[in-house]
Amino acid sequence: MKKLYSLFAVLFIAISLTAQTAFTATYDFNEAPSPDNGTLVGSGLTITPFTATGLQSTTTGNRFAWSDAPTATTPDTGKYFEVTLTPSSGTTISVSSITFRSQRSGTGPRYYVVRTSVGGYADNLPASIEPANAELEVIGSNEFHFVNDISTGQNGNKVTPATINNISGAVTFRFYFYNAEASGGTFSVDDVVITGTTTSSTLAVTDLSKTKGNLVKNTFVKNEEITFGAQAKDVKVYNMYGQVVKTASVKENESLNVAELQKGNYIVTGTVNNQPVSQKILKD
């Protein structure tokens, strides 16, 4: 009984709402060597074009290609490709996968990895070849590797950044490539597809004192029927012992017969326009 009165004595209710939206960011680099701003399908985030740091630009078309790849056997942290995803205010971002096509020149790098700002670019993201491609493999600590000394584009590169889960700030991915067979070697990516979800959370504060009038028109019931002023879902009628004595879903101006109920006070609850409302009635 005490709990029921406490429930309906509160006129302001804060409701936390969450909405999850799938997104896809695609870079086909058809504009190359001009920048590709990417094509975003979805909402709740912004994306940047790919940029390159510490490398030499090329005039190669239809892919993001840069030269002066490092010849060292480990990544040069001053040379990389980069792209950033930023969730909107009040939104978090999760990234499920990044797929892309890779290509090297005849003297280009044989190894490449993908890292993220989440973790300070310290670790290589989990890598796989899907679908299988005999020209590519994953070795060592999630390192992509060209099996043969070839210079044609190869599909199947995939990373699955499980750590990018409900991140509220900007997320940057960097592509490092190394072990070029000669200085001046070129590396490129193409058809990059980044998939994931955004989740937004809002706090809606509802003043029940303003909305309750939309529920019951006749709070003084004299004709054995409750008349509703709006379409309401999950209507429940409680007696003063906190017991549910009637349930229904009603349309606007529809009446609910309560002839079987004894005279006295009752509380009617329901959902109007996705907002919980309640109203006290007196049955004569």
pLDDT tens by residue, 131-151: 999 999 999 999 999 999 999
Distance CA 174, CA 121 (A): 8
The string of pLDDT tens digits covering residues 78-96 is 999 999 999 999 899 999 9
Model confidence at 5: pLDDT above 80: no
How far, CA to CA in Å, does 8 sit from each of 13, 21, 192, 202, 228?
10, 34, 54, 23, 19
In this predicted structure, what is the pLDDT of residue 15?
Answer: 40
Task: Kindly state the percentage of the chain with pLDDT values over 70.
Answer: 88
In this predicted structure, what is the pLDDT of residue 213?
Answer: 52
Distance CA 264, CA 261 (A): 9
In this predicted structure, what is the pLDDT of residue 34?
Answer: 94
pTM: 0.67
Average model confidence (pLDDT) across the chain: 88
- Residues 6 or more apart whose CB falls under 8 angstroms from that of 188 comprise 60, 63, 64, 65, 66, 102, 103, 104, 153
Give the number of other CB atoms < 10 A from CB of residue 176.
24
The string of pLDDT tens digits covering residues 26-49 is 999 999 999 999 999 999 999 999
Residue 14's pLDDT band, with cuts at 50, 70 and 90, is very low
* Lowest-pLDDT choice from 79-83, 240-244, 259-263: 240-244
Sign of the C-alpha dihedral computed for residues 17, 20, 21 and 23 taken in this order: positive
φ/ψ (deg, to 5) at 130 = -140, 120
In this predicted structure, what is the pLDDT of residue 64?
Answer: 98
Residue 183's pLDDT band, with cuts at 50, 70 and 90, is confident
In this predicted structure, what is the pLDDT of residue 201?
Answer: 63
In this predicted structure, what is the pLDDT of residue 159?
Answer: 98
Model confidence at 247: pLDDT above 80: yes
Over residues 229-256, the mean pLDDT reads 87
Residue 272's pLDDT band, with cuts at 50, 70 and 90, is confident
How far, CA to CA in Å, does 30 sit from each of 62, 64, 190?
4, 9, 9
Model confidence at 19: pLDDT above 90: no
Residue 205's pLDDT band, with cuts at 50, 70 and 90, is very low
Over residues 181-191, the mean pLDDT reads 95
Model confidence at 157: pLDDT above 70: yes
> Which amino acid, 146?
F
Over residues 230-238, the mean pLDDT reads 89
- Cβ atoms of 201 and 17 closer than 8 Å: yes
Pairing of strands 154-159, 91-104: antiparallel
